[in-house]
Chain A
Amino acid sequence: MAAEPPVLSVQGIEKRYGERRALRAISFDVGPGELVAVVGPNGAGKTTLLSILAGVQRPSAGTVVGPASELAGARAIGWAPQEPALYSKLTVEENLQLFARLEKVADPHGAVHSMLEHTGLSERANERVDRLSGGNRQRVNVALGLIADPRMLALDEPSSALDPRQRARLWEFLGELAGRRTSVLFSTHHLGEVSRYATRAIVLADGELLFDGAPGDLIALGGPDAEDLEGAFVAFLADRGH
């Protein structure tokens, strides 16, 4: 994997809101098929980082080099924001059709049907989004992020509104994606999911990148008292004054 060029390369990005620095000199790479977790306390800058990668915001400094340089515009990185970004009066299929056309997908119909099958939403295709459960809305949200078949998907707390069964299905789906060499970068507060599904973890606190490595390495850094990733994560942050 090390020999393959990264799908995404983040170089020294900063984000300032007036005097406040939301992100400070963040740099990392993401390789093909990696499942990278971005963790950190509230206000660490996770959502800001993901929205910059997704192209919703521009960094104040630094560069994001990745699939965006190969494919035009929004098709480069798929994005699923924390709150499902869907038109509630449209059906699942209509939402997918709309964004397939806006993303200028070559075969919108084919892409929509393929996405409905992959996400297990075929039976719900004609249901209006405002009548779906929270789990299914999140699945449509993820499906919209994938409609243009991006090489990388950025997900902001994708499992936060899901019950355990829905969460398991989501991770199964994301695992399949990674298996097809689609890189997945996700933010989360569920450290159990990080240890179970992520191949890498990035720890942010106060806009600073404090750790970038395998979840097992983070457990090791947590010291002898850390029983699991959550314990190690808390100890790690405390050691660094957070």
Chain B
Amino acid sequence: MRWLLAKDLKILSRSRMLVAVLVIYPVAIALLIGLAISRSPSKPRVAIVDETPPGQTIQVGSQRVEVSEYAAQLFSQIQPVPVASRAQAVAKVKAGDVLAAVVIPRNIAARLSSNLVPAHLEVIYDGDALEQSLVHSTLNSALAQANLGFSEQIQQAAAEALERLLQGGNLGVLGGPQNLIGLSQIPAGLNRIIARLPPGADRAELERISQFAQFGAQNLLLSKNVLSTVSQPIRVQSTLLHGRRTPLNTFAVVVAVTVSLMFISVLLAAGGVALEREEHALMRLVRGLISRERLLVEKGLLSAGCAFVVAFAMLAGISAFVALDWSRVGQWIAALAFGAVAFGALGVAIGALAREVRAASLLAFLLSLPLAFLALVPAGSVAAGVNNAIDAVSFVFPFKAALQALDAAVNGASPSIGSPLIHLAALTLLFGALARVGLRRAD
């Protein structure tokens, strides 16, 4: 087997373009996928036409809320491009300079203060269905965030007004009454007066007023609490069922490395086996020089070895930029080795069945890429039937198991590394057996 291995390494060393493509292409693809996963989307450029006069405020009780506060909330979700008029905004949207435009009308403050009619923002957008969908989701999210922030400010102002009503004090309005009594202080004051009064109609009347003041104070206190609940009625409390939380960037590293591992191992193994048949050398080899099983093992191990070296180098290189736990290097090696061998087994099966190098490479590529994407589809993001189908497909190919093994090895994610390694070993045997069947005929 060592002579065959030496021969294959010699052939590889003379196929520099192939080696370069086999290494550069998957690494580039892997890095792109990694970047796409780890980087949050950049803020969309949105033209803003702010027609409100500077410093305009909304009156809530005795409090005033600046309209600019609302705009600031909105701008935090987007990349604002200020424009002077609606016409300019339309022109920018048409020219594709901005994804959309938002017009904040002059009367927004008046409408918000009136409490009678809701205020409106105008959203102007264009583009194909994808862009329209992006505008919808992005601006809806941005507006929801801004509305939430704004309503919290209004709720805060309302709560302060209620507090003043309950506790009394100064209104803080120039020329307004000073040292007002609060509703909660009235019952105690009244009760002291009532105690000094003889029984009679006046005392009974004051007792009724005192009871009302007590009742009012208690209910206003409740209203204040209700206000704070209504501003954010549902709060999120997250519970991770198993494992520890995996940062998105280290998961992206795992995805990128697994994709590279898969491409190199599968393509090399598929091409290597198919090449033996295409060069008609398989017939010579299997007539007693080397068994079909040893030939498959040699091809699988060679491709797995190459993939392992590249993938490990990737992990080591990436660790310079992303914090990876080197104390787990033993698990990295196990995950990469089992994954590479399983991908190698898949590759030799493809090579044995496809019979030609081009067909084998094409089949390997066509099979690998969708498998990687399917394995990355989050559970529950598609209909149950489709989800089951995706799970089944992902189960019978090595990508998901390799991803889980490497995620467990690098990030300590769940499931632990044991079960994916067993899964990969089983898939190696399965695809090895399939490759042996494919290699039954040597011509």
Mutual binders A and B = yes
Q: How far is the CA of A93 from the CA of B68 in the complex (A)?
A: 82
Q: How far is the CA of A51 from the CA of B286 in the complex (A)?
A: 11
Does A103 lie within 8 Å of B289, measured CB to CB? yes
Q: How far is the CA of A79 from the CA of B283 in the complex (A)?
A: 10
Range, interface on chain A: 20 to 34
Cβ-based interface call for B280 (8 A): yes
Cβ-based interface call for A42 (8 A): no
> How many chain B residues touch the partner (CB < 8 A)?
20
Does B287 lie within 8 Å of A55, measured CB to CB? yes
Residues of B within 8 A of A103 (CB): 289
Does B442 lie within 8 Å of A56, measured CB to CB? yes
**Minimum C-beta distance from B298 to chain A (A):** 12
Residues of B within 8 A of A81 (CB): 280, 283-284
Please name the residue on chain B nearest to A73 by beta carbon.
B288
Does A87 lie within 8 Å of B279, measured CB to CB? yes
Cβ-based interface call for B4 (8 A): yes
Q: How far is the CA of A89 from the CA of B18 in the complex (A)?
A: 13
Cβ-based interface call for B7 (8 A): yes
Chain B 267-289 interface residues, beta-carbon cutoff 8 Å to A: 279-281, 283-289
Cβ-based interface call for A88 (8 A): yes
Does A89 lie within 8 Å of B11, measured CB to CB? yes
Residues of A within 8 A of B279 (CB): 85-88
Q: How far is the CA of A72 from the CA of B288 in the complex (A)?
A: 9
Q: How far is the CA of A54 from the CA of B286 in the complex (A)?
A: 10
Cβ-based interface call for B242 (8 A): no
**Minimum C-beta distance from A24 to chain B (A):** 21
Cβ-based interface call for B10 (8 A): yes
Does B10 lie within 8 Å of A56, measured CB to CB? no
Complex interface: stretch among A8-16, A94-102, A161-169: A94-102
Cβ-based interface call for A44 (8 A): no
Does A74 lie within 8 Å of B280, measured CB to CB? no
Q: Which of A54, A75, A89, A101 contacts B15 (CB 8 A)?
A: A89
Q: How far is the CA of A94 from the CA of B124 in the complex (A)?
A: 71
Does A101 lie within 8 Å of B11, measured CB to CB? no
Instruction: Name the residue in B10, B279, B285, B290 with the highest tally of chain A Cβ atoms < 10 Å from its Cβ.
Output: B279
Residues of B within 8 A of A98 (CB): 3-4, 7
Does B10 lie within 8 Å of A94, measured CB to CB? yes
Write out, one digit per residue, whether chain A residues 210-235 have a CB within 8 A of any chain B CB (1) or not (0): 00000000000000000000000000
Residues of A within 8 A of B290 (CB): 102
Cβ-based interface call for A116 (8 A): no
Residues of B within 8 A of A86 (CB): 279-281
Cβ-based interface call for B293 (8 A): no
Please name the residue on chain B nearest to A88 by beta carbon.
B279
**Minimum C-beta distance from B172 to chain A (A):** 88
Does B3 lie within 8 Å of A85, measured CB to CB? no
Does A56 lie within 8 Å of B286, measured CB to CB? yes
Q: How far is the CA of A55 from the CA of B443 in the complex (A)?
A: 12
Does B281 lie within 8 Å of A102, measured CB to CB? no
Please name the residue on chain B nearest to A76 by beta carbon.
B288
Please name the residue on chain B nearest to A101 by beta carbon.
B3
Cβ-based interface call for A83 (8 A): yes
Q: How far is the CA of A98 from the CA of B2 in the complex (A)?
A: 10
Residues of A within 8 A of B15 (CB): 89
Does B443 lie within 8 Å of A74, measured CB to CB? no
Please name the residue on chain B nearest to A108 by beta carbon.
B3
Write out, one digit per residue, whether chain B residues 1-20 have a CB within 8 A of any chain A CB (1) or not (0): 00110010011001100000
Known: A56-B287, A73-B289. A51 touches B281 (CB 8 A): no
Please name the residue on chain B nearest to A94 by beta carbon.
B10
Write out, one digit per residue, whether chain A residues 94-118 have a CB within 8 A of any chain B CB (1) or not (0): 1000110111000000000000000
Does B11 lie within 8 Å of A87, measured CB to CB? yes
Q: Which of A51, A75, A90, A144 contacts B443 (CB 8 A)?
A: A51
Please name the residue on chain B nearest to A98 by beta carbon.
B7
3 closest residue pairs by CB, A with B: A73-B288, A74-B288, A55-B287
Q: Residues of A at under 8 Å CB distance from B? A: 51, 54-57, 72-75, 79, 81, 83-90, 94, 98-99, 101-103, 144
21 pairs, A vs B, C-beta closer than 8 Å: A51-B443, A56-B287, A56-B442, A57-B442, A73-B287, A73-B288, A73-B289, A74-B287, A81-B284, A83-B280, A85-B283, A86-B280, A86-B281, A87-B11, A88-B279, A89-B10, A90-B10, A94-B7, A94-B10, A102-B3, A102-B290
Query: Told that A85-B281, A86-B280, A88-B279 touch, could you supply 6 new A-B pairs with CB distance under 8 A?
Result: A73-B289, A79-B287, A85-B283, A89-B11, A94-B7, A102-B289
